[in-house]
Chain A
Amino acid sequence: MRPFERNEYMTRVAKTKASMAEKGVDVLIVTDPANMNYLSGYDGWSFYVHQCLVLAQDHDEPFWIGRAQDANGAYVTAFLDHGNVIGYPDHYVQSTERHPMDFVADFLKKRGWDKGVVGSEQDNYYYTAACQAALEKGLPNVTFKDTTGLVNWVRVVKSEREIGYMQDAARIMEKVMHLAIDRIEPGMKQSALAAEIFRAEVVGTEGYGGGYPGILPPLMPTGDSSNAPHLTWTDKEFVAGEGTIYELGTTRHQYHCPMARTVYLGKAPTVVSDTAKVVVEGLNAALDFAKPGVTAEEIEEAWRGVISKHGLEKESRIGYSIGVSYPPDWGEHTISLRPKDKTVMQPGMTMHCIPSLWVKDWAIEISEAFRITETGSETFCDFPRQLFEKD
């Protein structure tokens, strides 16, 4: 039922505890849904109410604390002993009188964890200012430490099985991107294409279906709106003589394979197709360069070397680490392929390299998700790396 064995989860927990010890953290409160999944297997759309894992140096498994009605979901999806799954009563939900983190503070007190250093993910989605305020109020003898990113960094090197799920997601992505390029045509409503893409992401392959990506709606800026990267679809029609950028994601057990491609309805002007060639050349250079031992910023430099040869320039981040994730994002918030990021590449790291260049007021975007192998790098998808022109 669960995507990983108990011992894989326990290895992750042990690595996290080692990182906690190094940072002097006694108890860690984990609220990022991807981190909760990584350390326990928990997988549900319940992050719209407050929930967390609690890791302590003196307790082997994490505790799952969430809304009582979601405890059943934790029994089904998490590897945890049922005694480590704690539900809070419904009167804590969206109440103006009490906060779910009051319950968590009381729980920590009962366990004798109301002293020492407690880490919380203070710049994370869903860990609101009110969460931190409730914990500080309920645990006056605790020293709080911001541990945003602690578990995320434990996640950067993937196991073989994690990579296997990303490869599964890649098989779905190849089908999704083919469909997106096949179906688009002048006169088609954007919302109708979004519908087909949604379907394909979840239908998956013959052997297995897909989950939902962290950036859930298909992003496909087109024509006038193509310089507004995060607008979603409208009822407007696709128009001949305009370009569309697809930034799509597929998942298997919430492990992601994103991909971007650019498609032009009609024969693209020379400046567009020439720019696309530069993007591909730069992307190839970055992928060729990526291998164990080089740094994140050096991969970006390989790209920049190519485009500056063509007299071009662009903003500096061309990629980021990926893996397990939940909305609203699929990035891991760890490694960035940009200047000053000196992270050394290791086998099992997985990245999305998504460079783009601007032509007047719209962009060409062509990306690859890839992993660092023992000797170099390998893309997850096998898909033509080019600008698509549809006559």
Chain B
Amino acid sequence: MAVFERAEYLDRVARVKTRMARDGLDLLVVTDPANMNYLAGYDGWSFYVHQCLIVTQDHAEPLWIGRAQDASGARITTWLSADAVIGYPDRYVQSTECHPMDFVADLLTDRGWDKGRIGTEQDAYYFNAACQAALEAGLPNARFADATLLANWERAVKSDAEVAHLRIAGKIMERVMDAALDATAPGARQSAVAAAALRAMPRGTPEHGGEYPGLLPPLLPTGESSGAPHLTWTDRAYQRDEMAVFELGATRHHYHSPMVRSAWLGGNPPERVADLAKIVAEGLESALDAARSDVAAEDVSDAWRRVTARHGLEKKSRLGYSVGLGYPPDWGEHTISLRAGDRTELRPNMAFHAIASLRRDEVTCKMSEAFLITETGAETLARVPRELFTRH
């Protein structure tokens, strides 16, 4: 029932173990839900309780440890053998007396894995301060090292099977953006537009349904909130003569193809706004032209910056980031950034989301593309016209 072949998972685990050996780690506690999915196939909305995978040099398969009631979900979605799936009793859940990581520490001790150097993902969303404290208290003979992005870096170059899911996500994205644009008009409630986009995400294409993206709610900055990128929708009605921005995600098996587009409402945009949109599109296009195997991540953002600088404009935050598997609250991989100073060399089958965004005269115009590095250049995952839309 896992999404990929067993051999693919084994290859992923082997690569993570190689990286562990290089970093001098005997054992790795994996808590990031995307990393748990990558290595085991596990897929459930259970990260609101503590759970993890254990990867060690002297055990072939990872162990899945989670709440007992989620063990059946692990048996259904992972490739792991039955005895590699271990549930902890419910009394560990949200208790002030014992912590799920006490259970993990006891299990590691029972197996003789309580010595040596243990890596934990210390800045991953669901691995909180109490998790680390419980492991340190329960494993006094272990030394701990921060392994926050160890598994994430192994995810940067996708397999052909992963690329196939990314391409399907791109096809779903085309429909999601259409649904959002169709629902938008002056007078339409923002929440109605959000509802239309959310409906399209699981609905997918006639062949393939989608899941929920890591940045789950459609982000729809507009009007007074247009400079506030992470506000979600309200019941406010869209107005004439304002810019609406749609930052949306589509997924297939949790592989992401995000996209941003902007629309001017109620008529044709003023010339200054139309010009701004042309600069955004031109900058994005030159970034895509620059993206290919063997160039550095910063070469892509440099291409964008050259265009915007010519027009005396600038985007302060990074142009983009690596994408692939993701769970809420984010869809970024937290590894490669398309920004000055990131010298990571691009390789075929890496995937990125580049967000071109410029603000002038209190108006923000934003467009993005999710793209794949190929042998010869870059391929966008979704085909949606790269222009400022208008909605009447």
Q: Which residues of A contact B (CB under 8 A)?
A: 43-48, 69-70, 72-73, 75-77, 90, 94, 99, 120, 122-133, 146, 148-149, 189-192, 194-196, 198-204, 208-212, 215-217, 219, 224-225, 227-235, 315, 317, 327-329, 331, 333, 336
- Chain A residues, Cβ within 8 Å of B30: none
Cβ-defined contact, B129 with A44, below 8 A = no
Indicate whether A127 sits within 8 Å of B199 (C-beta atoms), given known contacts A229-B69, A232-B44, A333-B94. Answer: no
Cβ-defined contact, A129 with B127, below 8 A = yes
Indicate whether A191 sits within 8 Å of B203 (C-beta atoms), given known contacts A44-B230, A202-B194. Answer: yes
- Chain A residues, Cβ within 8 Å of B224: 76
Indicate whether A209 sits within 8 Å of B191 (C-beta atoms), given known contacts A128-B123, A132-B129. Answer: yes
Cβ-defined contact, B195 with A192, below 8 A = no
- Chain B residues, Cβ within 8 Å of A76: 224-225, 228, 231
7 closest A-B pairs by beta carbon, nearest first, are: A209-B191, A191-B209, A129-B132, A132-B129, A123-B130, A130-B123, A228-B73
Cβ-defined contact, B191 with A202, below 8 A = yes
Interface stretch, picked from B104-112, B211-219, B262-270, B379-387, is B211-219
Cβ-defined contact, A126 with B125, below 8 A = yes
Cβ-defined contact, B123 with A122, below 8 A = no
The residue on B at minimum CB distance from A77 is B231
Which DSSP category, helix, strand, loop or mixed, fits chain B's interface? Answer: loop
- Chain B residues, Cβ within 8 Å of A44: 228, 230-232
Cβ-defined contact, B229 with A70, below 8 A = yes
Cβ-defined contact, A129 with B129, below 8 A = yes
Can you give 20 contacting A-B residue pairs, CB < 8 Å? A43-B231, A44-B232, A45-B215, A45-B219, A45-B232, A69-B316, A70-B230, A72-B228, A73-B230, A90-B317, A122-B128, A129-B127, A129-B129, A194-B209, A203-B192, A203-B195, A327-B216, A328-B45, A328-B47, A329-B48
The residue on A at minimum CB distance from B126 is A125
- Chain A residues, Cβ within 8 Å of B23: none
Q: Which residues of B contact A (CB under 8 A)?
A: 43-48, 69-70, 72-73, 76-77, 90, 94, 96, 99, 120, 122-133, 146, 148, 189-192, 194-196, 198-204, 208-212, 215-217, 219, 224-225, 227-235, 316-318, 328-330, 332, 334, 337
Min Cβ gap B73→A in Å is 4
> How far, in angstroms, from A132 to B123 measured CA to CA in the complex?
10
> How far, in angstroms, from A43 to B202 measured CA to CA in the complex?
25
Min Cβ gap A143→B in Å is 15
Cβ-defined contact, B48 with A131, below 8 A = no
Cβ-defined contact, B128 with A124, below 8 A = yes
Pick from A72, A73, A120, A198: contact of B202, CB below 8 A.
A198
New A-B contacts (11) at CB < 8 Å, excluding given A45-B230, A232-B43: A44-B232, A72-B227, A73-B231, A128-B123, A129-B132, A131-B123, A195-B198, A199-B196, A209-B190, A216-B328, A228-B73
> How far, in angstroms, from A122 to B127 measured CA to CA in the complex?
10
Indicate whether A195 sits within 8 Å of B230 (C-beta atoms), given known contacts A130-B122, A130-B146. Answer: no
- Chain B residues, Cβ within 8 Å of A195: 198-203
- Chain B residues, Cβ within 8 Å of A227: 72
Cβ-defined contact, A216 with B216, below 8 A = yes
- Chain A residues, Cβ within 8 Å of B45: 215-217, 219, 230-232, 328
Pick from B194, B202, B318: contact of A233, CB below 8 A.
B202
Cβ-defined contact, B191 with A210, below 8 A = yes
Cβ-defined contact, B192 with A209, below 8 A = yes
Cβ-defined contact, A133 with B122, below 8 A = yes
Indicate whether A235 sits within 8 Å of B77 (C-beta atoms), given known contacts A128-B128, A148-B130, A328-B328. Answer: no
Pick from A126, A130, A196, A202: contact of B148, CB below 8 A.
A130
Cβ-defined contact, B48 with A212, below 8 A = no
> How far, in angstroms, from A82 to B47 measured CA to CA in the complex?
35
> How far, in angstroms, from A229 to B69 measured CA to CA in the complex?
7
Min Cβ gap B353→A in Å is 14
> How far, in angstroms, from A234 to B208 measured CA to CA in the complex?
10
- Chain A residues, Cβ within 8 Å of B231: 43-45, 73, 76-77
Cβ-defined contact, A122 with B129, below 8 A = yes
> How far, in angstroms, from A42 to B215 measured CA to CA in the complex?
18
Indicate whether A198 sits within 8 Å of B198 (C-beta atoms), given known contacts A44-B228, A45-B232, A73-B231. Answer: yes
Min Cβ gap A89→B in Å is 9
Pick from A148, A216, A228: contact of B72, CB below 8 A.
A228
> How far, in angstroms, from A228 to B225 measured CA to CA in the complex?
40
The residue on B at minimum CB distance from A216 is B216
Cβ-defined contact, A129 with B192, below 8 A = no
- Chain B residues, Cβ within 8 Å of A225: 73, 76
Cβ-defined contact, B233 with A202, below 8 A = yes
> How far, in angstroms, from A124 to B129 measured CA to CA in the complex?
8
Cβ-defined contact, A235 with B208, below 8 A = yes
- Chain A residues, Cβ within 8 Å of B198: 195, 198-199, 201-202
Cβ-defined contact, A45 with B217, below 8 A = yes
Pick from A46, A224, A233: contact of B230, CB below 8 A.
A46
- Chain B residues, Cβ within 8 Å of A69: 229-230, 316-317
- Chain B residues, Cβ within 8 Å of A132: 129, 132
Min Cβ gap B101→A in Å is 10
> How far, in angstroms, from A94 to B47 measured CA to CA in the complex?
21
The residue on A at minimum CB distance from B96 is A149
Cβ-defined contact, B73 with A231, below 8 A = yes
Pick from B46, B191, B212: contact of A230, CB below 8 A.
B46
The residue on A at minimum CB distance from B125 is A126
- Chain A residues, Cβ within 8 Å of B334: 94
- Chain A residues, Cβ within 8 Å of B124: 128
Pick from B47, B195, B212: contact of A202, CB below 8 A.
B195
> How far, in angstroms, from A74 to B131 measured CA to CA in the complex?
30
- Chain B residues, Cβ within 8 Å of A209: 189-192, 194-195, 233-235
> How far, in angstroms, from A47 to B128 measured CA to CA in the complex?
14
> How far, in angstroms, from A69 to B228 measured CA to CA in the complex?
7
Pick from B128, B211, B216: contact of A129, CB below 8 A.
B128
The residue on B at minimum CB distance from A73 is B228
> How far, in angstroms, from A9 to B233 measured CA to CA in the complex?
22
> How far, in angstroms, from A120 to B211 measured CA to CA in the complex?
34
Min Cβ gap A317→B in Å is 7
Question: Which of B48, B204, B230 has the most chain A CB within a 10 Å cutoff?
Answer: B230
- Chain B residues, Cβ within 8 Å of A126: 125, 128, 329
The residue on A at minimum CB distance from B91 is A316
> How far, in angstroms, from A208 to B191 measured CA to CA in the complex?
8
- Chain B residues, Cβ within 8 Å of A204: 191
Indicate whether A230 sits within 8 Å of B122 (C-beta atoms), given known contacts A45-B219, A195-B199. Answer: no
Pick from B130, B203, B229: contact of A73, CB below 8 A.
B229
- Chain B residues, Cβ within 8 Å of A329: 48
Cβ-defined contact, A120 with B129, below 8 A = yes
The residue on B at minimum CB distance from A338 is B90
- Chain A residues, Cβ within 8 Å of B227: 72
